[in-house]
Amino acid sequence: MSSTAPELRIAGPAVSVLEDPALFANRELSLLDFNRRVLELARDPELPLLERLRFLCICSTNLDEFFEIRVAGLKQQLEHGVDASGADGLSAAAQLQRIEERAHELVADQYRELNEVLLPNLREVGVQVLRRDEWNEAASSWVEAYFERNVLPVLTPIGLDPAHPFPRVINKALNFIVSVEGDDAFSRESRVAIVQVPRSLPRVIRMEHGSAENEVDFVLLSSVIHAHVGRLFPGMSVTGCYQFRVTRNSDLFVDEEEADDLLSAVAGELLSRRYGDAVRLEVALECPEKVREFLREQFELEPADVYRVDGPVNLHRLDALHGVVATPGLRFASFRPGLPRRAARGVSLFDTLRDGDLLLHHPFESFNPVLDLVRQAAADPQCLAIKQTLYRVGADSPVIDALVRAAQAGKEVTAVIELRARFDEARNIQMAHRLSEAGANVVYGVVGYKCHAKLLMVVRREGEQIRRYVHLGTGNYHAGTARAYTDLSYMTVDEQVGADVHALFMQITGLGEAAKTERIIHAPFTLQQRLIEQIEAEAEAAKRGEEASIVARMNSLSDPKIIRALYQASQAGVRIDLLVRGICCLRPGVPGVSENIRVRSVLGRFLEHSRVYRFENGGEPRVWCGSADWMQRNLYRRVEAAVRIDDPALADRVVRESLAFYFEDNVRAWELDAGGQWERVPRGHGERREAQSRLLEGLADLDV
């Protein structure tokens, strides 16, 4: 990948320079670049060892989803003869070829880091994942007893013969292909069997075999099975045993126009996810070519779809170590999220919000005030109704508990549940059943659009007046991710915001024309249009010689229309600073096109998730917080919302904490060059400025 600016290829005078494919990076390759940056965190010697291992596991999990969704989609395009390219001009076939090259390299680097750096370094501090050839007599005896007691009873080998064809292997499950020799009781000639490992068994097992006092020993389930796989074939000799894992297409297909009941349709598709078309095969490095080819043919894959790995095929399972190893200094220091005095526990949030808007910056500040708003509304006799969108909320959610109590208390509860929130479908179906049984109105979003907006509205009677208390967030109503993702919560009783949110709920649950709103812009109707209008307004201001700037942060940037608008603004002289965590299809620094655009990515302890946009607006800045990335799916195929923060103090705080700190970061930042290369921002000799650490120090309680 070149680090020089792309050469513009203009086909003729009728073709605009901004249509040139060289100006657009490929979405899928950019996503792989993001995973490369995650892997770099696993390599960072400044980070605690178990956190580095966790980043390695995150990279592995991200790759799983990349193959399940993105690679699977490209393979489907080829299968159906669809070869339409995006703004970057790459066909599906060309994308797959480049993905294969980079993905194989990335996987090899993952295992190299695991085997040559992380596991040896963990061993030095007394945390050992023992290989079979490292077991002493005590360890071997312990493993044998563990296998007999916990593993053997649940394993079912499948000998391959006409009566036992190759089994339907579950998506991403651990499996073994075993070759044996000897006499079979039924005189069957097959000498090959498949052993599927149930997901109920833990993959990382803590050993209790009398290790040294300062050592904590673990063994992988794959090693336990491998060592005793012969017990599954009595009287026969095992001649080969190799682990493998297959990744399948996991994108659900639901024809919403044809489905009479969306909940039943999604539930019916969940099982098929386990057995979708294979897209990748991972096999142990020592697996012989003949066996690899046999497996590849069974899954109807190409040679490039086979990944030989030097370690566990389910690498991400090593993340279990993070939760069970208590050795000091191997994890990030704990902290207690801060809690603004105005939102202290036991304080009425209705009183608090009538005194002024509230802004919370998670995870540095507590998510409890958001939960408390729902809880207090459920118990408040003056509360008439609660309306809320639910995308991801987690198991045993306190939000759902409160909504159930509110519905059972006779309040009007409306829950807009997005059943198709990827990989949370089953949990959301259970949540929908529970709310329905409690008497809540449950709506499954809008046919053809995912409901991704984060909206909560509490309607309360106060004397002769009806007030709407509103929460709008950049993240989900998930108490767990609120401690791991950086997000903003905006809480207000502002009449206009309340009216706007009410109009959005009416639009989502009912029928009618697009909602007319003042403080909120929303997809798929006004969000993209208003963003482009504000970008164009900055360009016009720059042309008049006025100060003009755009500063924005998001997870991903890929919408060609917005990218072209940003290019035009740059050409007009607008200073544009973009903070993009993941996918970025814009190329900054291209002469004559994007010299005035800078793109940064900051990765650290917490997943950067906030979406914030600031426009100079002639010296009266407009600051927006919302749920939407600048991607086609968010702007065209989702229900999204962004709210304008009008309180000057809160707007300044949003800009300082979510934008300025990150552009000053010289520890965890990368910058993108015109050739599409991400380069780590050099530390230099000045003060160490790490955005997330500054926010922890300023907002959270670190003395825990």
CB under 8 Å to 306, separation ≥6 — which residues?
Answer: 281, 283, 292, 295, 296
Check: CB of residue 264 under 8 Å from CB of residue 436: no
Check: CB of residue 66 under 8 Å from CB of residue 29: no
- Average pLDDT in the 238-250 region? 94
Helix, strand and coil percent figures for the chain, each rounded to 5: 40, 25, 35
Same fold, 341-514 and 522-699: yes
Which residue bears the tokens 């695991």?
114
- Average pLDDT in the 489-517 region? 94
- Average pLDDT in the 440-462 region? 90
What is the model's pLDDT at position 250? Answer: 80
Region at 684 (left for phi over 0; alpha for psi -120 to 50; beta for the rest): left
For residue 197, which of 166, 229, 230 has the smallest C-alpha distance? 229
| Fold topology of 522-699 | Endonuclease; Chain A (3.30.870)
Question: What is the rounded CA–CA span in Å between residue 557 and residue 581?
Answer: 9
What is the model's pLDDT at position 411? Answer: 94
CB under 8 Å to 45, separation ≥6 — which residues?
Answer: none
Domain boundaries, given as residue ranges, for the chain: 130-324, 341-514, 522-699
- Average pLDDT in the 687-700 region? 95
Catalytic-residue membership of 452:
yes
DSSP 463-499: TTEEEEEEEEESS-S-TTGGGTEEEEEEEE--HHHHH
Which residue bears the tokens 């349709």?
265
Question: Around Cβ 530, how many Cβ atoms within 10 Å?
Answer: 16
Residue 137 phi, psi (nearest 5): -60, -40
Question: What is the rounded CA–CA span in Å between residue 209 and residue 211?
Answer: 6
Architecture of domain 341-514: 2-Layer Sandwich (3.30)
DSSP state of 166: P
Long-range CB contact pairs, 372-375, < 8 A, 24+: 372/343, 372/345, 373/349, 373/456, 373/458, 373/469, 373/471, 373/491, 374/398, 374/399, 374/402, 374/403, 374/406, 374/456, 374/458, 375/402
Q: Express each pLDDT in 385-395 by its tens digit.
A: 999 999 888 66
- What confidence tier does 683 reach under pLDDT thresholds 50, 70, 90? confident
CB under 8 Å to 303, separation ≥6 — which residues?
Answer: 296
Residue 10 has pLDDT above 60, yes or no: no
- Average pLDDT in the 613-626 region? 97
What is the model's pLDDT at position 619? Answer: 95
What element of type H or E holds 584?
none
Helix (H, G, I), strand (E, B) or coil at 683: coil
Question: What is the rounded CA–CA span in Å between residue 690 and residue 616?
Answer: 26
Which residue in 362, 452, 478, 502 is the catalytic one? 452
Which residue bears the tokens 């990827």?
422
Residue 369 phi, psi (nearest 5): -60, -35
What is the model's pLDDT at position 417? Answer: 85
Q: Express each pLDDT in 532-583 by its tens digit.
A: 999 999 999 999 999 999 999 999 999 999 999 999 999 999 999 999 999 9
What is the model's pLDDT at position 368? Answer: 95
Which whole-number Å values give the CA distances from 304 to 70, 97, 164, in the listed order?
16, 9, 29
Query: How many CA atoms lie less than 13 Å away from 42 in the CB half-sphere?
Result: 27
Which residue bears the tokens 């970008």?
535
Quick one: what percent of the chain has pLDDT higher than 70?
92
| Fold topology of 130-324 | polyphosphate kinase like (3.30.1840)
Q: What is the pTM of this model?
A: 0.91
- What confidence tier does 2 reach under pLDDT thresholds 50, 70, 90? very low
